[in-house]
Structure 1
Amino acid sequence: MSSQWPSNAIVRGGSVSEGSSTTSSPLNAVQRVRNDAPLTTTFNKELVEKVTVLITKEIRRLRGEMSILREELSDLRADINTFASQIAANLPFEVLTLIFEFVCCPEDSEDHFSTNINNSFWKKPAPDEDNERSRLRVGPFYISRVCSLWRDVALKSPKLWKSIRIAVDGSAHGSRRQAALLDYWLSHSGEHPLAVGFAEDLRACRGNRNIPTRTIDILAKHAHRLYIAELLMPKGWELALSRIGEEAKLLADLTFKPVHGCQPIDDVIPFTAPRLHTVRLSRYDPRDISVSLPMAQIKNLYVKNIFDPVLAISLYPNLRNCTINADVFGMGLQASLMAPWPKTYSLQSFKLILYSRLDLELLLRRLHLPELRSFELELTTGLPSMSLLVPFLKQSAFSLTTLRLCCKDEDQRLRHQDLVSCLQELRMIRDLSLDCGEVSSPVLELMNPRKISGPDVTQFGEMQMTETWRKMISPCLVPKLETLTWTGRIRFSPLILLYFLEVRWAHGQSGGGEVAKLRSATFVQTQLQLQARIVDRLRSEGMHIEIS
């Protein structure tokens, strides 16, 4: 405090006097003046002005101290940055390499291509967050701009350069620029297996019926190291694609995509690819692809927005996993009605992403998958017809262990009677995921080996069950269930859910009967409020519970 103001001075009755130390600040003194002024016959204006001057000086002093503190804070931050940069500069080369690989090549990413480059790569980025984020995706180049040490590390770390996807430019100037970039990129990848993809840039390819071959020619030089490939099939690329098909002995994952507005390839290009096990078709029917593949060795098939997915399945006799994505309105799958009935005994995992119930019915009528272990269904509109879905799933009732049902239409809600009729036939289910709008309590009640009755009703809430329902629940639904994921609102008391979790956990621990231990329960967008004490106890005992 300023020396001009006594530490224990207060204003009382128009004079400055010594008083309590609790009123030692100028603000307290002014408050005293305001409080006492109405009680006095005179008001000492001169004294108040003096107090005002002292307060003004105090404000100036505090502002000066704040300025000094800001400068000290800035210096400390600069010291921290300098210290941190010294640590990074002193890290061993191998450690920096591992850090860069962790950032630029995440192992858990679903996208095989850690770097995506389009025409905006050559534009000067604006100083906003979105552009900064897009620049970060071009990992090795961005790292190389930090300092000479990081540039040296990046250029000598071949793993950083093993993956790239380029949006193909149909212009002559753009293709030359992209070819130079791809050549530079792959030349730094050492002998690493490569993941290289070509995407279609609609704006860059618009009006170009003949796509230059410069980029595919560069890739053909490295075909012997190609492990994952995402290829376009425009007319004029035949020679380079033939070289890739002949030399890509390491190729394991292959994607074909057409180019909008370009003529397709006429000649049939053979791909020997002895290690090829995964094929992805986007907007292509199998009969339209001018490529000869080793069909018998393909284990994984992913098709997106093609007209005849049933035919696609029938062409690969030894499939293990298949995903059909036809969620575009108006796509239509009428061609499947004319396709042969593929008796695929090897298929174990089947995922359907469809737009409508009609598309689902067309597919289910033609498929026979007796060895299916995992089935996932996602509908954009409408609800699945249980009269078709249940017979289809019953084909593999003794092997099906994973079932996921998702209906995105918020106006539709699957009736619990239909869901129960489906689950009754699938007693081997271990992993169940439901996202079908609101699901009422009987479904959860019927999965409980100890039905709520007698004294349990008082403890866990009222549950009305008719005699018809009781006949349907012996034994309980999905007794082998170990993982449950429930998305959407619930229409029952949280106490019912807690009771279910406790019983399925305890029943499984005791080893009683055929009921397995429920090890994981996830509830998404349910707006649940459960008793923390019981949930914490179950978690401490080893049960995974996630609520959001």
Structure 2
Amino acid sequence: MPAKSCDCGPTLAELLLDWPPEKFPELDSATTSLSLRSRDLREQFNAGTPFLSLPREIILEISIMACEPVYEASDPDNFVRSKQLTSPLLLAKICQLWRCLVLHYPRLWNVIFLNLRREPEVYRAQLELLKSWLLRSGELLLSIHLEEMERDPAGWVKNPPVEVFDLLARYSHRWLHVSTFLVRPCWEGLEKLPLPSLTTLAVRPPTVVSSPAELRKAIWRISYAPCLRNAYLVVFDKVAMDIPMHQLTQITMKSCMRQDCLSLLASTPNVVHCALLSIYSRFIYNLHPAVIALPYLSSLTMASLGDISMITRLLDCITTPALSRMRVICGESRGAEPFASIGTFLSRSSCSLRELSFKVTNYRETTEQALIAMLTNMETLEKLELHCKWGGKFEPVFYHLNPARPQHTPQYLPPSRVVLPNLRCFRYKGPMSFEIHHLIKMIDMRYRMSIDREKDLQWDPVGRQGIHNCIARPESFDIEILEMKRDHYYTILCDYADTLERLMEEHDGIVFSFCDEMGDNIPLQNLIPVMDPDGLAEFFT
């Protein structure tokens, strides 16, 4: 502490001036002794605080794990949707030792998550912080996640953060993953930048833009990026954009015209993972002139804000022989045609689909028969997810999934035909638009018949030899019933308490929960201890 910073400063200064030179060795000795004493006291304190006494190597490993991007379990390769739990700046505040280690270790500074603000003082501080951050990263490859934090994001169009982009451009030779918003004139210099290591590029406009047409006028190109494999494109015009599409193995297109998406897909023969989100069209019948072959595509996600017809029109234009995972998300499903179109697409592709997920807000009209017909031809399917907010009649689906379905139930297929023989994981999230005993019976019979097959028992519950030899052993059933009144819980659980309790005890993979009208989720596991009429009555009152 400087002498002038405390009240006794003048006195200390006078004492030092009057100190005889021959006393300086004595002063040095006293200073050394005090330093040693201070170190001893610090070590004693650290001994009582374990994390302060960790070896340097352990501290650095902890810091690296804390600062690495965290990915969503459902999308483990998507850097765009990743997040950082903490930053090296916070770790540097723990103590002097951690600060010394963190500030001088480049591996903690090569990941940048920055939420830009337009306020002049904040923006200047962020720019200086970014300069220091980049210097501390050494020569490591950079992962950059740039977001905008504004009430009016369109303000970035009028006042673009040119200084930030110019600073990042100086390090373009070290870009590895980049997720950023682009506004004029920031996109104009992309073609001139050296991008030898760029692997992931996500480009989007600010969150809300008053005039999207302004962004579509942007002409931006990347002529040379030999390592580019993953592209995430939001609101773009295919005519104004040029990147090496033939290199891509993963592509996501969002809020784009259908014809532009098809044109880009036609130039991505090596794509393995594809997501088409919020795709729209200005015309109803602007079909692609020829079917696009995507021989390596194994994962396909398609989402539409409206009905499912936009998705089916896209499927009419592609063929995917290697497809194993498919997700469909849409606002509503009308009639049987969408499921028939999806079935035609899968049949045309001759693929062995293993995972299928439907998330439809509203099922309209009669769709269950077409859904069952589509599932019947998916003998390789191992995982099925059905999400519905309202509408739909899933009762026929459940009793057709029962490998020993009773003869008296409505049959869309021959009774001997087993639907989804290889099904291992099933998830349903939606309303109680069915009699629950059909669902419980289906779960019970799939477990019982698969277990009998594995034990090689000759047991035939319904007099049809050989059916039980076709059922794979289930791994999980995850059932979540939405917007259910509590008095309805009581009735259901009282009627099926014994069966539900037995299933939960015998099989770890069953998860059953109810979501009431207030949005509270009640897992069935919480109700097992009170699975008797008196206990349930007390629980629900």
Whether TM exceeds 0.5 here: the answer is yes
* Superposition map of 1:67-146 within 5 A: 86-109=49-72, 112=79, 139-146=87-94
Q: What is the TM-score when the length of structure 1 is the normalising length?
A: 0.68
Asked whether the equivalents of residues 210 and 236 of structure 1 are also in contact (C-alpha less than 8 Å), the reply is no
Give the counterpart of 2:435 among 488, 491, 506.
491
Q: CA deviation at 1:353?
A: 1.1
Asked whether the equivalents of residues 295 and 316 of structure 1 are also in contact (C-alpha less than 8 Å), the reply is yes
How big is each residue's C-alpha offset from its partner over 1:275-331, in whole Å with a ceiling of 9 and x where there is no partner?
Answer: 211111011133232xx322212111101111122233223122211111107xxx5
Matched to 1:319, the amino acid is V
Asked whether the equivalents of residues 105 and 114 of structure 1 are also in contact (C-alpha less than 8 Å), the reply is no
Partner in structure 2 of residue 421 of structure 1: 373
Partner in structure 2 of residue 380 of structure 1: 331
Q: CA deviation at 1:87?
A: 2.0
Q: Distance in 2 between matches of 1:181 and 1:367?
A: 47
Give the counterpart of 1:509 among 433, 436, 454.
454
Give the counterpart of 1:303 among 253, 259, 265.
253
Q: Distance in 2 between matches of 1:113 and 1:154?
A: 26
Helix, strand or coil at the partner of 1:256: strand
Partner in structure 1 of residue 32 of structure 2: none
Q: CA deviation at 1:498?
A: 4.3
Q: Distance in 1 between matches of 2:182 and 2:157?
A: 14
Partner in structure 1 of residue 203 of structure 2: 256
Give the counterpart of 1:269 among 221, 228, 234.
221
Residue 406 in structure 1 maps to residue 359 in structure 2: yes
Helix, strand or coil at the partner of 2:398: helix
Gaps spanning 5+ residues in structure 1: where?
A: 1-81, 117-135, 454-463
Name the CA shift for 1:272/1:350 in 2 (closer, same or farther; >3 Å).
same
Name the CA shift for 1:424/1:293 in 2 (closer, same or farther; >3 Å).
same
**What fraction of aligned residue pairs are identical, expressed as a percent?**
20
How big is each residue's C-alpha offset from its partner over 1:487-530, in whole Å with a ceiling of 9 and x where there is no partner?
Answer: 22352316414423423531552476333222222222367855
* Superposition map of 1:245-394 within 5 A: 246=194, 248-258=195-205, 260=209, 269-289=221-241, 292-308=242-258, 309-326=261-278, 331-332=280-281, 334=283, 337-346=286-295, 347-357=297-307, 358-383=309-334, 385-394=338-347
Matched to 1:519, the amino acid is E
Residue 444 in structure 1 maps to residue 389 in structure 2: no
Helix, strand or coil at the partner of 1:303: strand
Partner in structure 2 of residue 218 of structure 1: 167
Partner in structure 2 of residue 472 of structure 1: 414
Name the CA shift for 1:380/1:433 in 2 (closer, same or farther; >3 Å).
same
Matched to 2:313, the amino acid is L
Name the CA shift for 1:523/1:92 in 2 (closer, same or farther; >3 Å).
same
Q: Distance in 2 between matches of 1:532 and 1:374?
A: 33
Q: Distance in 2 between matches of 1:389 and 1:547?
A: 29
Asked whether the equivalents of residues 299 and 318 of structure 1 are also in contact (C-alpha less than 8 Å), the reply is yes
Asked whether the equivalents of residues 113 and 163 of structure 1 are also in contact (C-alpha less than 8 Å), the reply is no
Q: Distance in 2 between matches of 1:335 and 1:182?
A: 47
* Superposition map of 1:142-291 within 5 A: 142-169=90-117, 175-202=123-150, 203=152, 206=155, 208-209=157-158, 211-237=160-186, 240-244=189-193, 246=194, 248-258=195-205, 260=209, 269-289=221-241
Helix, strand or coil at the partner of 1:408: strand
Q: Distance in 2 between matches of 1:326 and 1:204?
A: 21
Name the CA shift for 1:106/1:215 in 2 (closer, same or farther; >3 Å).
closer
Name the CA shift for 1:413/1:174 in 2 (closer, same or farther; >3 Å).
farther
Q: CA deviation at 1:263?
A: 6.4
Q: Distance in 1 between matches of 2:222 and 2:122?
A: 29
Q: Distance in 2 between matches of 1:301 and 1:400?
A: 20
Matched to 2:339, the amino acid is M
Helix, strand or coil at the partner of 1:337: coil
Matched to 1:223, the amino acid is S
Name the CA shift for 1:193/1:505 in 2 (closer, same or farther; >3 Å).
farther
Helix, strand or coil at the partner of 1:531: helix
Matched to 1:318, the amino acid is N
Partner in structure 2 of residue 396 of structure 1: 349
Name the CA shift for 1:473/1:165 in 2 (closer, same or farther; >3 Å).
farther
Helix, strand or coil at the partner of 2:252: strand
Matched to 1:545, the amino acid is I
Q: Distance in 2 between matches of 1:185 and 1:207?
A: 23
Q: Distance in 1 between matches of 2:145 and 2:192?
A: 16
How big is each residue's C-alpha offset from its partner over 1:452-488, in whole Å with a ceiling of 9 and x where there is no partner?
Answer: 46xxxxxxxxxx324x54x534320011212211222
Q: CA deviation at 1:354?
A: 0.7
Matched to 1:400, the amino acid is L
Q: What is the TM-score when the length of structure 2 is the normalising length?
A: 0.69
Partner in structure 1 of residue 510 of structure 2: 545
Q: CA deviation at 1:235?
A: 2.9
Helix, strand or coil at the partner of 1:280: strand
Q: Distance in 1 between matches of 2:471 and 2:329?
A: 28
Q: Distance in 2 between matches of 1:288 and 1:201?
A: 27
Asked whether the equivalents of residues 113 and 165 of structure 1 are also in contact (C-alpha less than 8 Å), the reply is no
Helix, strand or coil at the partner of 1:472: coil
Q: CA deviation at 1:394?
A: 2.2
Q: CA deviation at 1:154?
A: 2.4
RMSD over equivalenced CA pairs, Å = 3.3
Matched to 1:405, the amino acid is F
Helix, strand or coil at the partner of 1:250: coil
Name the CA shift for 1:240/1:198 in 2 (closer, same or farther; >3 Å).
farther
Name the CA shift for 1:383/1:213 in 2 (closer, same or farther; >3 Å).
same
Q: Distance in 2 between matches of 1:115 and 1:354?
A: 23
Q: CA deviation at 1:205?
A: 5.3
Q: Distance in 2 between matches of 1:311 and 1:174?
A: 42
Matched to 2:235, the amino acid is R
Bigger mean CA deviation after superposition, 176-185 or 232-241:
232-241
How many residues of Structure 1 are paired with residues of Structure 2 in the alignment?
424
Bigger mean CA deviation after superposition, 157-166 or 273-282:
157-166
Q: CA deviation at 1:252?
A: 1.1
Asked whether the equivalents of residues 420 and 443 of structure 1 are also in contact (C-alpha less than 8 Å), the reply is yes
Bigger mean CA deviation after superposition, 261-270 or 178-187:
261-270
How big is each residue's C-alpha offset from its partner over 1:98-129, in whole Å with a ceiling of 9 and x where there is no partner?
Answer: 3333333254445637998xxxxxxxxxxxxx
Partner in structure 2 of residue 76 of structure 1: none
How big is each residue's C-alpha offset from its partner over 1:244-291, in whole Å with a ceiling of 9 and x where there is no partner?
Answer: 3x2x222111112235466677665334222211111011133232xx
Helix, strand or coil at the partner of 1:534: helix
Q: Distance in 2 between matches of 1:206 and 1:435?
A: 38
Name the CA shift for 1:533/1:171 in 2 (closer, same or farther; >3 Å).
closer
